[in-house]
Amino acid sequence: MTKWAKMDIKTELEIKKMEKAGELLASILSELCTLCVPGISTKQLDEIAENLVLDNNALPTFKGYHGYPATICSSVNDVIIHGIPTSAKLKSGDILSIDMGLTLEGWIADSALTIPIGKVSAEAMKLIEVTQTSLYRGLELAKPGFRLFDISRAIQNYVEDNGYSVVRDFVGHGVGRNLHEDPSIPNFIPPLTSIYRNIKLKPGMTLAIEPMVNQGTHDVKIMKDRWTVRTRDNKLSAHFEHSIAICKDKTVILTHRKDDKINREL
């Protein structure tokens, strides 16, 4: 059986359930954004996020996943992903990436965004904007008739044309009843040997697309806690992610937020 045969193609009803989970996650992330000001700690944000999830009869998907200890991943400045919340207070000039997943009625939504804290440098703001736009460039090609790596190519080209690099050690993924499902979705064109190279996008696929973009080299280093991933050269990194569903005549951004600059339906 091929990897393609193992992919979980969702029904319209299942996608509706995932959409419900995505709407809840989007609302929680939007609320967290309003709290991301100098003086708050990522541990406080994590506690608020967990309470909001539980108050809505959902479960924090990340907490306990392979031993991860928190509801959100909170990655500050040169931390790319998987930053563990701490009591350290955020400062003006920091950039914070929040990655979060929740499970509602057995279905998972996964999303991330990078938030400027207070007044940030022009260089940091440009990195955030390029990363977010690269996600949109990929989403524009996440439709039936295109291939999986059309998404990867669009992200990579936009990022590199702007002088940044895309992380290669971590990638996007399918999502549904499980947090990580097939296929893997790189933000760059991988070697010709990739088993996903010729996959055509088809209705029923639900994907989490998530460019992670570095100011400098794409190389990473994993810290002693075995979770925190930093840029090798200690330069800034940004991260945006949406869960999407590919339908017959459109693509739906399941985790669409009100402040998104792209339409919920593509």
SS3 state of residue 173: strand
User: What values do phi and psi take at 33, rounded to 5?
Assistant: -60, -40
CA 206 to chain centre: 14
Which pLDDT band, with edges at 50, 70 and 90, does 198 fall under? confident
- Strand-pair partners of 184: 173
**What is the per-residue pLDDT across 210-262, written as a single tens digit (0 to 9) for each?**
999 999 999 999 999 999 999 999 999 999 999 999 999 899 999 999 889 88
**What is the per-residue pLDDT across 137-177, written as a single tens digit (0 to 9) for each?**
999 999 998 999 999 999 999 999 999 999 999 999 999 99
Residue 266: per-residue pLDDT: 82
Q: Considering just the CA atoms, what is the radius of gyration of the chain in Å?
A: 17
CA 234 to chain centre: 21
Residue 257: per-residue pLDDT: 96
Angle formed by the axes of helices 122-139 and 148-161, to 10°? 160
C-alpha span between 191 and 38 (Å, rounded): 43
Residue 193: per-residue pLDDT: 58
Q: Are 6 and 182 in contact (CB under 8 A)?
A: yes
Q: Mean pLDDT for the chain?
A: 95
Cis peptide before 38 (omega within 30 of 0): no
Rounded to an integer, the average pLDDT of 67-74 is: 98
